[in-house]
Amino acid sequence: MPLKYNGYTPKHDIDFYHWRSDTAENNPQQRKDINIYLNHYLKPKLPEGVIILDVSSKRDFFSVTNNPLFPFNIRGGTDLILVEEGAVETGLVQAGIRAIIELKKNVQDNHAKQVIIEMLIADLCVSDEIKVFGVLTDLVNTWNFYWIEKERRIKSMRLSHREKALDLISQLVSTTQKKESKNVTFGNIKVYREKVKQAFPVKNDSDNDIARIEDLYDDMSTEEIREYEMQVYSDRCIREKLLFFVREFSVVTIHERQAKIYISKTLDLQSNNPTVLKAYAYLAKQAKEQPFCEHPDIIIRLSNENSQSEPPQRYSFRARKNNSNSAPQVRTEPPGSGNFQSGNFVGEYLGYGRSGTTFSCKYNGQDIALKLTDLSKKKFLLPELLKEIEIYHFLADLQGLFIPKLVGYGYMWDKMFFAIATTIVGKSLEHSITINRIQEQNAYKALIEIHRHNVIHNDIRKENIILSNDRKSVFIIDFGLATIDNNKVKQQKEMDQLRCLLKEMVA
């Protein structure tokens, strides 16, 4: 099961924006702070002559009426634009737009529609030489990029590293001046951009109604309908046109440093319900015969299929390339057989948790812990798994010191499973009866460092505290429930929880 990173994420990052929790996104002081933040970090990266302009106070900044390329009339605004300074000085602001930036305290899926429609409108306002892109961000660890490609396709790329995101903004802005300018290559992603009229040649069939951009992603209240009923619509037809228009585009998402998973051919078995062991054996054989990785070693432990009352047996296999069509040899060891020789076994079943089952595996000669989550049974856990990956990136400079190193992640087997691979750092405290004072202090230090990065773990228990094999270092794992929060009261409460947990273990 080859896992491969695409691109490089530096460990160090610029500071994130600290939202005022007691004020709204469009509060004047909040807007002032945001502009200071972006002018400090983003402005120096922009090409000469391009500035950051706050247009959040202009509700009707965008207006498209009877445009032959748009299937409806629409008006609305956005938060920020990257614009040519000369266009602002001459009063032709819209003609100089390079990018639109929509800011949200908490980015939700439905916000993507808003950014996409704003980007499409902005692209209609500028000349053919400029191809506008959109950014949706919380200025913390979510930076979603959108641009138009051929065949009614909108590409979306998500970054969590703030400085990398600002670098990509700079690259995209720098290559919007000419059609013949080079396409941006970011990591291994090539960004090919098009104009709306090139990607979506559609004729306007709208009436005289004018829709607002927010209608696309939010239901209107009774008061809003009453206020705009003469200008917006008297029924739901405009909203339906908006939604239909966006559905005409296919949005393709590229995840930052997402692990690349190579899928083998379909498992051809006469049995309608092949065992997990058969499936693993087949996949290992296919992986062995592919050039993507060398010597994949996969060890699993399954319950005995013949009897629920019997203790679990330990299964293992090692795929060996041969000229026959036979499956890899599978060996079973009796329960309680103890340690195994490295010549026959590479790893073992590590544990089962709330979010999946963890196995030890070999990847490029490195021992890794591979957590597999069956999305066909626990699809509701996917947001939690993605959050865990975000937190690992957010705590990049702690990896290998206080938390495991993230090795790879991604969907597997036609998105039926999701995998997260990390380095193996030791065994959890649930396997330890006692710890000494030094180990106790190292556990406190690990949590202090996590809190120093404004992350609250929210799931402190023995299973998530790992003692290294040399019993000198302590690591904290499983960040699926973690949140980015600098609330000192919550951090202290979590530290007290850890002290209470370790108090009875110190010998």
Q: Which amino acid appears at position 300 of this protein?
A: I
- 419 membership: H or E segment, kind and range: strand 417-423
Alpha helix positions (H), 141-181: 162-174
Query: How many residues make up the chain in this entry?
Result: 507
- From residue 207, how far is each of 89, 121, 238, 297 by CA, in Å? 35, 18, 9, 64
H/E stretch holding 28: helix 28-41
Distance, CA of 73 to CA of 167 (rounded, Å): 35
- Displacement of CA 67 from its chain's centroid (Å): 36
Running DSSP on this structure, what letter comes out for residue 131? -
User: Phi-psi category of 332—alpha, beta or left, where left has phi over 0 and alpha has psi -120 to 50?
Assistant: beta
Q: Which residue has tokens 């998105």?
A: 415
The residue with tokens 């000198």 is 472
- Helix H, strand E, coil C: the string for 253-268 is EEECCCCCCCCCCCCC
Question: What does the alpha-carbon distance between residue 263 and residue 142 come to, in Å, rounded to a whole number?
Answer: 29
Is 472 one of the annotated binding-site residues? no
413 backbone dihedrals φ, ψ, rounded to 5°: 55, 60
With a CB cutoff of 8 Å and minimum separation 6, the contacts of 115 are 100, 102, 134, 135, 136, 144, 146
Which parts are annotated binding residues for ATP? 371
Please enumerate, by residue number, every residue annotated as part of a binding site: 371
